[in-house]
Structure 1
Amino acid sequence: MLAVSSTRRVFDEGWLLERKWDGIRALAVRDGSRVTLRSRTGQQLESAYPELVAALAAQPVPRFAVDGEIVAFEGGRTSFARLQQRMGLHDPARALASGVAVEYVLFDLLALQGHDTTGLPLLDRKQLLTEAIEFELPLRFSEHTAAEPGVPVPLSEACAHGWEGLIAKRAAGRYVAARSGDWLKLKCERGQEFVVGGWTEPAGSREAFGALLLGYHERGQERGQERGQERGQERGQERDQKHGAEPGRLRYAGKVGTGFDTRTLRALHRVLLQLASPVSPFETAEEVPTRTSHWVRPELVVQVGFTEWTRDGRLRAPRYQGVRTDRPAAEVVREPPA
């Protein structure tokens, strides 16, 4: 189940508030002695996070399916940059020796002892989750509070604590395998995933590359959204995701050249060289820099924080945050607040 970005700040009765975790979304299933851990793209994660598999396998309940976020902490705050050091490791011994501790924050229960729980209200699922799982690190329960009707949510306090934001959820809502308005993302900093369409040459003492050229897939209804029809665009995106529509053209969103250290520059450059393409993946009408640009197949997805969208559809003050291996490139579209 996926959340919709929103600028809503006041809720009526029947909504819960949770911390928005900055990590990798993962579904875990235990069936007796076998535990599987999968990303949103279906990627196997067991070898990358063996301590989480062991903790799930040690639970007293032998059969369950849970939803949550894999996170890494740094100085009391979750750090996606730190988690990146574990995401590229697929040997269990190397992963455990990396020095990067991870936790699996659980917030939903999809099945228990052979029974499908997705049709139950969220509050009931959470209650069953706390009864079924023994929460000791590296397993953590995502705490929630009830939204106070008519009172703005404490988003500023969450941001001050270094959180990525809040998630508002309908307490009576069911779990559906789609993007749903029953889950709303309230972000501290605007940000989303983008597809990398190329890179520019480095300047001065910079290594590897200068900036990543970013884009997102345009679906037909996005033209309507640009005219202010935001709700229609969201419904259209939900239909596309539900019925498996093909992605549209890759729209240019700008370039990001900050947020990299030397190690990241070198590692990304190796990936870019493997994806090199002689043709631009962006639609030809867009003003993409070409003099020092190199193109790649639009397969690499990165997370980028930014302050706002400009009127000409570019990112203002973008900052690279990490690679998203858990998000298919074909799903990346512009995410305006609802």
Structure 2
Amino acid sequence: MDLPVMPPLRPMLAKSVKGVPAADSVPGGLVYEPKWDGFRAIVFRDGEEVVIASRSTKELGRYFPDVEAAVREQLPERCVVDAEIVTVVGDRLDFDTLSQRIHPAASRVTLLAEQTPASLVVFDLLALGEESYLDRPLAERRAALEQALAHAHAPVHLTRTTSDAAQAEQWFHQFEGAGLDGVVAKRLDAPYAPNGRTMLKVKHARTADVVVAGYRLHKTSTPEEPLLGSMLLGLYADDGRLQHVGVCASFSASRRAELVAELEPLQVSSGDHPWGAWQDEQAQAEGRLPGGQSRWSGTKDLSFVPLRPERVVEVGYEHMEGAGDGARFRHTAQFKRWRPDREPTSCTYAQLEEVVRYDLAEVLDG
């Protein structure tokens, strides 16, 4: 491979802001794009040679042979683009089926590629032919990208853009129903800045009251000085089961020690806990229990200290993954405050905001 922009290359990043910024809030103006919820990928193509690199510069090609084939078929013969790999189930993005692709068995990857093929959503041009576009302003990169992908079709898509902040605000609320993550704002006059946080992102922020049903010890914890690493959180389903929905973390070192002492009176044996069967394979398969091994955790110790589910905490989260009583926090939740005024059994899925469904095809091809 011999391109004007070569791997490894880290993608340009974004910093969070509250609310969609005005288009004229920065010199040169802003343009807005939907924020896709998938795997970020820098795609390098030099003829038949294709490298698909993750945000951390690891190669993803072996997990997405369908995307590699689409790149060879539709992208310019020599180019580098910034994009997102996504999978679609029904009329919305589905991160679960995307993450299942990271599997060591090629036969499994091939089967998943047939069952839930991936798509490539392209949003920036870094090189074309013999020319690097890294130092060119976004307005010029976008114009060249539109021309290069003028005839693209599924599973390759060119992300839509708008210079209208009101339109971006509408996208922010509507597109979440199709599984998108928010809105990104970019300076029209800015060059591409690898690994630089020069973009702005607006993501959904919500709160929920959840039950604390256990905790894991921090990696620096010792028997002499136990430190809490993360709290295990639960919500009650309609059938009365306490479902594991995620964790909250990010406490100071002093607070980690205080929390262990504070929660000690609630410790119970596994046999007296709603998630006491977490080591049982059948129980893991039939319900959401913490502690099971996965392709992500490997042999990592996921044991936890079980607690009587008596304390309620308010946490901040962006959005849920999954549907109904199987939904869970997509990312680590943020501790807000204890809620001594809430009964644990009142912490149900019913409190969660219903996101209006939106046809993903309208986002991809509108």
> TM-score with structure 2 length normalisation?
0.56
Instruction: List aligned pairs for 1:233-248, cutoff 5 A.
Output: none
- Verify the 8 A CA contact 1:20 1:164 in the aligned structure 2: yes
Counterpart of 1:215? 249
Q: State the 1:65 CA deviation.
A: 0.8
Q: State the 1:160 CA deviation.
A: 4.9
Match of 1:47, SS state, is helix
Match of 2:191, SS state, is coil
Counterpart of 1:95? 109
Distance 1:56 1:291, change over 3 A: closer
Match of 2:169, SS state, is coil
Counterpart of 1:334? none
Counterpart of 2:7? none
Counterpart of 2:184? 167
- Percent identity (aligned): 26
Instruction: List aligned pairs for 1:146-225, cutoff 5 A.
Output: 146-148=163-165, 153-154=169-170, 155-160=172-177, 162-180=179-197, 182-189=198-205, 213-216=247-250
Asked which structure has the greater CA Rg, the reply is 2
- Verify the 8 A CA contact 1:50 1:92 in the aligned structure 2: no
1:174-210 Cα shifts (integer Å, max 9, x gaps): 1101342x4111113459xxx99578799xx989x96
Match of 2:61, SS state, is coil
**1:304 partner letter:** H
Does residue 77 (structure 1) correspond to residue 92 (structure 2)? The answer is: yes
The CA RMSD measured in Å over matched residues stands at: 4.5
Match of 2:121, SS state, is strand
Match of 1:58, SS state, is helix
1:81-110 Cα shifts (integer Å, max 9, x gaps): 232232x33445432322112101110111
Work out the CA distance in 2 between the residues paired with 1:169 and 1:67. 14
Task: Choose which of 289, 296, 299 in structure 2 pairs with 1:274.
Answer: 299
Question: Mind listing any 5+ residue stretches in structure 1 that lack a counterpart?
Answer: 220-248, 279-288, 293-301, 320-338
Counterpart of 2:147? 131
Work out the CA distance in 2 between the residues paired with 1:201 and 1:152. 33
- Verify the 8 A CA contact 1:201 1:210 in the aligned structure 2: yes
Counterpart of 1:50? 65
Task: Choose which of 4, 11, 17 in structure 2 pairs with 1:6.
Answer: 17
Q: State the 1:159 CA deviation.
A: 3.5
Counterpart of 1:262? 285
Work out the CA distance in 2 between the residues paired with 1:105 and 1:201. 34
Work out the CA distance in 2 between the residues paired with 1:28 and 1:123. 20
Q: State the 1:217 CA deviation.
A: 9.0
Q: State the 1:25 CA deviation.
A: 0.6
Q: State the 1:52 CA deviation.
A: 0.8
Does residue 36 (structure 1) correspond to residue 51 (structure 2)? The answer is: yes
Question: Mind listing any 5+ residue stretches in structure 2 that lack a counterpart?
Answer: 1-11, 208-217, 220-228, 235-239, 260-273, 276-282, 308-328, 339-346, 350-366
- How many residues are matched? 255
Does residue 310 (structure 1) correspond to residue 346 (structure 2)? The answer is: no
Counterpart of 1:23? 38
> TM-score with structure 1 length normalisation?
0.61
**1:276 partner letter:** D
Distance 1:146 1:218, change over 3 A: farther
Match of 1:270, SS state, is coil
Match of 1:28, SS state, is strand
Match of 1:183, SS state, is strand
1:139-195 Cα shifts (integer Å, max 9, x gaps): 11111011248x983232334555321111112221101342x4111113459xxx9
Work out the CA distance in 2 between the residues paired with 1:200 and 1:311. 15
Match of 1:166, SS state, is strand
- Verify the 8 A CA contact 2:125 2:133 in the aligned structure 1: yes
